[in-house]
């Protein structure tokens, strides 16, 4: 098995790609840290616990819910915080919170935080390179349509390059990731067979969904993730989108690794 730091790995021959399907949160846009803050605010934690967590969800919880729809992760979060920290046990000042209430409050909080959300490193360059090569692109995100529109405000160049945007509340998406529904729907709307699509994902939930759809999958996992699991499941594992080598998938002009290295060398010369 190749090193987890190598941008490409595995022995399966790669198929040429006719379309690209992107996850949104944590893949194209740097929303995951904002999502944690929004969640902890929604939970209304006591002050000492809020200070202890310091704006971050415990990784053992975060890793379980990455890529899920709100209807799926909200009961998991409530159960975790109740059993681990006693949050929401019904004692005075510690009200029980329903999954729908947590999800709704989290969405409201995140919308406020995401008005100025920035792209992930390499995202703009990669989307631009794919657009220049003529590859059709889609976003397939578990986020709801309203939340996606907020994230779009400061990232219109990325969103306008997409031929299709499929959200988690789309009626055609009956099941969330790790089921393949959202990627199958995105591929169908682009008019491309899923086997000819390349999926970009940051979560294992999303990687499994992409593979279940019959797509090739590039994973860009959180540094805290179990890299072995990603290496065993995805077709390619990167530390960032800047490492992507399009020629490995028959995509010319989308070798960000080479172009990034050249920029760094030129910068050092200057």
The three state secondary structure string of 134-162 is CCCEEEECCCCHHHHHHHHCCCHHHHHCC
Residue 255, judged by CB atoms within 10 A of its CB (0-12, 13-18, 19+), counts as middle
**Stretch (H or E) spanning 231:** helix 227-233
| Cα distance between residue 174 and residue 222, in whole Å | 27
Q: What is the mean pLDDT of the chain?
A: 90
Lowest mean per-residue pLDDT among 93-102, 209-218, 256-265:
256-265
* pLDDT for 138: 99
| Cα distance between residue 102 and residue 96, in whole Å | 10
Q: Are 67 and 209 in contact (CB under 8 A)?
A: yes
Q: Are 186 and 206 in contact (CB under 8 A)?
A: no
* pLDDT for 267: 47
What are the tokens at 56?
Answer: 């971050």
Average pLDDT over residues 85-103: 91
* pLDDT for 94: 86
Share of the chain above pLDDT 70, in %: 90
Q: What angle do CA 179, 232, 33 make, to 5 degrees?
A: 65
Q: In terms of pLDDT, which residue wins out, 228 or 194?
A: 194
Residue 164, C-beta contacts closer than 8 angstroms, at least 6 positions apart? 136, 137, 138, 139, 186, 189, 190
Whole-model pTM: value is 0.87
Share of the chain above pLDDT 90, in %: 80
| pLDDT band at 270; cut points 50, 70, 90 | very low
247 DSSP assignment? G
Q: Is the pLDDT of residue 262 over 80?
A: no
Residue 140 vs residues 17, 176, 249: alpha-carbon distances, Å: 17, 11, 20
Per CATH, is 19-31+118-269 categorized as 3.40.50.1000? Answer: yes
* pLDDT for 256: 65
* pLDDT for 253: 72
The ranges assigned to domains in the chain are: 19-31+118-269, 32-116
* pLDDT for 26: 96
Q: Is the pLDDT of residue 1 over 70?
A: no
What are the tokens at 108?
Answer: 């409201």
| pLDDT band at 255; cut points 50, 70, 90 | confident
What are the tokens at 70?
Answer: 């709100």
| Cα distance between residue 262 and residue 258, in whole Å | 6
Q: Is the pLDDT of residue 49 over 60?
A: yes
Mind telling me the catalytic residues?
A: 23, 25
């Amino acid at each position: 098995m190749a090193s987890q730091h190598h941008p490409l790995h595995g022995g399966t021959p790669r198929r040429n790609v006719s379309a690209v399907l992107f996850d949104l949160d944590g893949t194209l846009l740097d929303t995951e840290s904002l999502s944690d803050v929004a969640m902890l605010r929604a939970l209304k934690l006591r002050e000492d616990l809020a200070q202890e967590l310091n704006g971050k969800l415990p990784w053992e919880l975060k890793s379980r819910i990455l890529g899920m729809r709100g209807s799926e992760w909200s009961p998991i979060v409530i159960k975790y915080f109740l059993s681990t920290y006693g949050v929401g046990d019904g004692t005075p000042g510690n009200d029980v919170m329903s999954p729908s209430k947590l999800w709704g409050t989290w969405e409201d909080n995140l919308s406020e935080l995401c008005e100025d959300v920035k792209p992930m490193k390499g995202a703009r360059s990669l989307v631009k390179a794919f657009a220049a090569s003529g590859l059709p692109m889609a976003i397939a995100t578990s986020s709801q349509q309203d939340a996606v529109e907020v994230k779009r405000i400061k990232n219109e160049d990325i969103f306008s390059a997409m031929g299709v945007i499929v959200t988690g509340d789309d009626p055609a998406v009956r099941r969330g990731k790790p089921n393949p529904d959202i990627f199958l729907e995105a591929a169908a709307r682009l008019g491309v067979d899923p086997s000819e699509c390349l999926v970009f994902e940051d979560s294992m939930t999303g990687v499994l969904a992409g593979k279940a759809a019959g797509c090739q999958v590039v994973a860009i996992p959180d540094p805290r993730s179990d890299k072995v699991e990603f290496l065993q499941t995805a077709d390619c594992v990167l530390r960032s989108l800047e490492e992507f080598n399009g020629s490995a998938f028959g995509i010319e002009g989308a070798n960000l690794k080479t172009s990034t290295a050249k920029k760094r060398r030129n910068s050092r010369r200057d």
